[in-house]
Structure 1
Amino acid sequence: MARTLKRTAAFSALAKALMSGARGGPSIGKRLGALPRMIKATAKGDYDGGMRLALMAGATAYVVSPVDAIPEAFFLIFGLADDALMVTWLAGAVLGETERFLAWEKERGRVVVG
């Protein structure tokens, strides 16, 4: 049950983040441009995104790792479905966290133009 709720939350975050660009929210370019600043601010301890960044890094490692090729080899469609779910969650997490980071920057007066 909890796993289903987490998936639902990830899909909701992805849909919300994608729609916010159309409604005047940060564009995808601004969100992706904020990633290096977010990583740097987290590493310095200024921003509290450490656990979320670790989860995103773990999800990325899972999707690109050769170990993940084993389920695809044996289960074909079902093996690819876990990758699709992970990539969807990762996209939602990145978009949601970058939006939160941009709001944090704006609140602190660190607005970056561009």
Structure 2
Amino acid sequence: MSTATALRWGAFRNIARALRAVTRPGSPGMGTRLSSLPRLVRATARGEYAGTSLGRLALLVGAVAYVVSPIDLAPEALLGLFGLADDAVVVSWIATTVVNETEAFLAWEEQRRRTVPGDVVG
């Protein structure tokens, strides 16, 4: 199996895992996850949420910009399927990162909601 093929299949597996996580019974849907992203950024920037970093969020924004940008490091027109493989890897990383980051963030928000001010959490 070529490297491009292996990358492509790995990317598809990551996307499938992310979709399974999103469609799990009781799991927040993609709309809920995407709408939580601005709150995640604000809480991270304020230092309230330590589950991720501004650097990681910046990488996520950069990855999205790379995918939607007309400029490509490995152009499909010249490199065929290998040109698609780099995009597939980046898209799978974006999907996996959004699912994982929002999963942890939404759990953190829920925990904060359950905690009554003045109670000791230990």
For the criterion TM > 0.5, the same-fold answer is yes
Structure 1 residues 82 and 40 mapped into 2: Cα distance closer, same or farther (>3 Å)?
same
TM (norm. structure 1) is 0.73
Whichever residue aligns with residue 96 of structure 1, its letter is: N
The alignment yields a C-alpha RMSD, in angstroms, of: 2.7
**Which segments of 5 or more consecutive residues in structure 2 lack a partner in the other structure?**
1-5, 115-122
Match of 2:42 in 1: 40
Count of residues in Structure 1 that have an aligned counterpart in Structure 2: 104
TM (norm. structure 2) is 0.69
> What is the Cα deviation at residue 88 of structure 1?
1.4
Runs of at least 4 residues off by over 4 Å: 7-12
Considering fraction of residues, name the structure with more helix.
1
Does the 8 Å contact 1:10/1:89 carry over to 2? no
Does the 8 Å contact 1:10/1:88 carry over to 2? yes
Does the 8 Å contact 2:11/2:92 carry over to 1? no
> What is the Cα deviation at residue 51 of structure 1?
2.8
1:99 equivalenced with 2:120 (yes/no)? no
Specify the structure having the higher radius of gyration (Cα): 2
Does the 8 Å contact 2:11/2:88 carry over to 1? no
**Secondary structure of 1:43's aligned partner:** helix
> What is the Cα deviation at residue 9 of structure 1?
9.6
**Secondary structure of 1:47's aligned partner:** coil
Mapped partners of 2:12, 2:94: distance in 1: 8
